[in-house]
Structures are given as C-alpha cells and as structure tokens.
Amino acid sequence: MNMPDPQAFASAWMQSNPLAAMMQDAGLQIKPEAMEQLKNDYLRDFGALWQEFISGKAPAISDRRFNSAAWQGNPMSAFNAAAYLLNARFLNAMVETVEATPQQKQKIRFAVQQIIDAMSPANFLATNPEAQQKLIETKGESLTRGLANMLGDMGKGHISLSDESAFEVGRNLAMTEGTVVYENPLFQLIQYKPQTETVNQVPLLMVPPCINKFYILDLQPENSLVRYAVEQGNTVFLISWSNPDKSLAQTTWDDYVEEGVIKAIRVTQGITGEDKLNMFGFCVGGTLASTALAVLAARGEQVANSLTLLTTFLDFRDTGVLDVFVDEAQVAIREQQLKAGGLMPGRDLASTFSSLRPNDLVWNYVQSNYLKGNDPAAFDLLFWNSDSTNLPGPMFCWYLRNTYLENQLKTGKLVVAGEKVDLRKIEAPAFIYGSREDHIVPWPSAYDSLAILPGKTRFVLGASGHIAGVINSPVKNKRSYWINDGGKAKNAEAWLEGATEQKGSWWPEWAGFLNDHGGKKVKPKAKPGNATYTPIEPAPGRYVKVKAD
C-alpha cells in the first residue's frame, strides 16, 4: 500500500481550501507574508500529526465532540478528528490575515465557522465511530430509528431538540395560576392570582419579547420567574403576544407600542386603580417597554415607578454576532419583501438564532437523533426554543432599520405613535441585567443602557447566556452573579473590575429592588379584573398556544 505524501496533501489542500475561494469571489486579499507563514506552520503541524499517526501514537484531542473512547481508541478516527481540528485552526487563523473592514471580517469569520462546524467528522456516519459502533450493537436498528427521526423532523420543519410529546402549555408549562382579563388582536393580558397575604401596592407589568412565547418566564414551578415574582408579594400582570397570522400582516412597531404596551398599561391601571407601575421588559420586550414609556413621557405622563430591563438593547452600537445578518443590502431586501405587509416566518427566525450556536443547537442533534437513532430528552427550555413565533413584516423591518442598522432609538429623533422618543425623559429608577456569555445581547451593550436612562440605576451581571442566565431560579442555587455597589462606572469593563462575584441566583437582588419600589403593603384584591375588564379565560390563555405556520 502506497502511503500519501503528507506535504503534497497539505499543499494541495492549502491551494484549494474554501476560504481562499471565498476571498477570491469577494474580491478580498490575504496578506502574502502572513499567508506564507501560515502555510509553513500548517505543513509543519500536519507533518507532525502524520508522523504520530504512522508511528501509532494517538494525537491529543481536547474537543468534547471527540473525547469518547470510540474516537480516542480508534487510530484512524482520532487522526481524522485531529486533522479536522488542525484545518479548523488554520481556517480561523487565515481569516485574521484577510485585508477587510471589521464588519467584513466578522461576516467572513461567521461564514467560515459555519463551514467548519458543518464539516466535522462527527456529523457523518462514515466518519463517526460512535454512530458506527451503535449501528453494529443494535444490528441496524439505530439507523432505522435515525431515519424515522429525520423524516419526522422534515415533516415538522425543524430539528427536534426535546421530546415534544413531554410538554403541553397549560398542562406542565405556564402553570402559574391567573386569568386573562383583556385581549385585542395583538395580545392578551394575564393577571396572576396573588399568593401572599399582602402585596406591594404598586403592580408589576411584565413585557416579554414578541419574538417568542412568554412562557420562557413561566416554564415549570421551580424555574418560573413569574411565579417567583408573585411569591415575593407582587400583583403581576403579563402580556401574552399573539402569534401573528395574515390578519396582522400590516402591523407596525407603532402598533406594538400603542395598541400593545401602552394599552396593557392602561388596563393594568384601570384594574388596580394605581397610576404608577413597576415596568419589566425582557430582550425586545424591554426595548418595546422603554419606547412606550418614552412615548408617554412625551405626552406628559410618567407611569413607571421603576423599570426592569433584562438582556435588553437600548443602544445598538454593538450587537455582537447578530451584526452579520444586518447591513444595508440585507435590510433593503427584507424591506422589499415585507415592509408593505407580510409575515417574517418564525421558522426563519429560529434558524437564524440556531446558526449562532450550530454545534449546540443543530449538529449535536443531527449526531444524536439521526446518526445514532436516539430520541431527544425532555427539556422544557429547548421545547420552548422550538415553539416559533411569526412577526409582522412592517414591524420587523422598522425594528431592523431603526435599531440594529442605524441605532436611532437612543438619539431622541425617532417618532413613534406620533411622539418623539427620548429615552432620557423616562423618570424612573432602573434595574438593568446582563448575562456574561450572552451572544444575542452582549452584556456591555446591556450595560450601555445606564448611560441613557437618567434615573438611579442598578446593574447586575449574571453568569451563562441569554436565556439560561435569566432563568436561574434560587431553588437550584446554581451559577453566580456580579454586583458593584460603587454605582455607574465609565464603561462595562471598569464596572466589572470593581464588581464582586456572588454565588447563586440574582433573582433575590431583583426582588429586593421591586420591594423597594413597591409602595406600601396592602391586601390583594379577591377577584381578577373589574367591571370594565372582566375575566375571559384562565391563564395561560389561547394566544400562547397558537403555533406558527
């Protein structure tokens, strides 16, 4: 058997690698001297890897995708994994040598990483020894189950991340007791039943993101932020956004502010008799809530007794990896398609967010569900992640252009619902939360809200990501968070330098903030709603159960 020449192989791969072709198509250049150094490094490292292989020495592999005995104990599989990782390192290093603007380089980096993740040998039956081993052990049954899983997912239009038969909204998700007390085509308003002998006089109105279902805040009793807020003695109201269909295809950002958040404020005021509310917004829900408060401030009303913003952009200067999806050309295409009316499909939004973490949210399940024939485990958060929501085209296009692309929200120049939006006119103390590993709202961007809002502000930084960092119940006593009692710092990095780490959940910090701004303790009302806003149906209501087309 003639063994291949490793240097010839490496040289051929160098000349035909996908990044070089991508650069050529885009008219971009790679610095020649840097490329020559990379070439020499690659030839050296590949040669060393080849020598290890032919001498029978297993390469050292730390990547968790390849840490099982099936990979480490098979010389050819270990070599394939090591060679793949070497190629990945080279491609990523090659990106850094490209002569391009920072935004171009970020787009290239993202595209190359998508290619790298897709080409992992773990993703193919022919090169995945774990899947091959299971195929033999089950006498082919794993392959049959895997094909059935794949065909089932093709019918559903998405990869199953969780056992979707294990959950049902209203049965074992979104279980906090409450009543729908108002609805219009855009949302239902839920009033939750008090669970304490006395409650804070100032009610809490929660505005979740409209880009997905509200029950991320009310999963199961032990990790429900809604239930926790009720148990801390708050009268809680929450917006359950509708899942738009063609009847809402003309809906605008102004509508979400005026007929959504501001209407919910009016209903909450009417039911409780309180002019002031503790306002809460999560992600784009925080952007909507802040916009609504600024609109009301322009009309001479200060309705917020406090404002809580979780992983929220007000300043879109740094949108992290999402920036790769937003430039003038891409926004213009969306505007041409949707600005005059139509729907942004929930499945497209879900695919976009999955592409930000493809190994965790795509390829991991391709390997497990399809190659190995495993059934996904029951996991409430991943069930929610697959429960998509459409967005009205005009609203989506306005949001893309005025926030992500042009960062106009903080300027005070935008007109929403007939009023100039000046966030600096919101006269309320604020609790701002960011997640340290958030890839959707980078935590320094969440911190930037402190420079915009004029009231007394408190910033808390949690561990983990956009969702897992927020949904961190004290019951489980997991993770940690950071606080800095020194107040505002000149920037996020300076704040973190002076911060101290606390073990466990940040939720009690928020509960204390709400209590400080909750007014006096009063007896809760015996029944939900009032004569004007009568009960419609039990929580979680109909709207949250509607599936995206």
* 171-218 tens-digit pLDDT: 999 999 999 999 999 999 999 999 999 999 999 999 999 999 999 999
Task: Give φ, ψ of 516 to 5 degrees.
Answer: -65, -25
Name, in order, each residue with C-beta under 8 angstroms of 173's C-beta and a sequence gap of 6 or more: 167, 215, 218, 219, 220, 380, 383, 384
Confidence at residue 30, expressed as pLDDT on a 0 to 100 scale: 74
Neighbours of 435 (CB within 10 A): 27
Tell me the per-residue pLDDT of 131-155, one tens digit each, with 9 for 90 and over: 999 999 999 999 999 999 999 999 8
283 catalytically annotated: yes
Name, in order, each residue with C-beta under 8 angstroms of 243's C-beta and a sequence gap of 6 or more: 213, 346, 389, 390, 543, 546, 547, 548
Collapsing DSSP states into helix, strand and coil, what is residue 206?
Answer: strand
Mean pLDDT of 56-76: 89
Mean pLDDT of 76-92: 93
Confidence at residue 1, expressed as pLDDT on a 0 to 100 scale: 38
In the predicted structure, residue 21 carries a pLDDT above the cut 80: no
Mean pLDDT of 451-469: 95
Q: Are 307 and 453 in contact (CB under 8 A)?
A: yes
Domain ranges of the chain: 6-124, 178-345+388-545
Neighbours of 402 (CB within 10 A): 19
What is the C-alpha radius of gyration for the chain, rounded to an integer number of angstroms?
26
Q: Interhelix angle for 102-118 vs 75-95, to 10°? A: 170
* 133 closest CA partner among 63, 84, 57, 73: 73
Residues β-bridged to residue 241: 187
Tell me the per-residue pLDDT of 42-57, one tens digit each, with 9 for 90 and over: 889 999 999 988 888 8
- Distance, CA of 359 to CA of 348 (rounded, Å): 18
Count the helices and strands in the chain (H runs, E runs). Answer: 21, 19
In the predicted structure, residue 472 carries a pLDDT above the cut 80: yes
Whole-prediction pTM = 0.92
Confidence at residue 3, expressed as pLDDT on a 0 to 100 scale: 45
Query: Exposed, middle or buried: residue 327 (CB in 10 Å: 0-12, 13-18, 19+)?
Result: middle
Confidence at residue 489, expressed as pLDDT on a 0 to 100 scale: 86
Mean pLDDT of 85-105: 88
Confidence at residue 8, expressed as pLDDT on a 0 to 100 scale: 57
How much is the mean pLDDT over the chain?
Answer: 92
Q: Are 241 and 186 in contact (CB under 8 A)?
A: yes
Spell out the CATH class of 178-345+388-545.
alpha beta
Confidence at residue 16, expressed as pLDDT on a 0 to 100 scale: 53
Confidence at residue 2, expressed as pLDDT on a 0 to 100 scale: 47
Residue of 283, 414, 432, 450 with catalytic role = 283
Single-letter residue type at 64: R
Tell me the per-residue pLDDT of 515-529, one tens digit each, with 9 for 90 and over: 999 999 999 998 999
Name, in order, each residue with C-beta under 8 angstroms of 246's C-beta and a sequence gap of 6 or more: 343
Tell me the per-residue pLDDT of 212-233, one tens digit each, with 9 for 90 and over: 999 999 999 999 999 999 999 9
pLDDT-based confidence at 36, cuts 50/70/90?
confident
Q: What share of the chain in percent tops pLDDT 70? A: 95
Mean pLDDT of 473-492: 89
Tell me the per-residue pLDDT of 327-378, one tens digit each, with 9 for 90 and over: 999 999 999 999 999 999 998 988 888 888 899 999 999 999 999 999 999 9
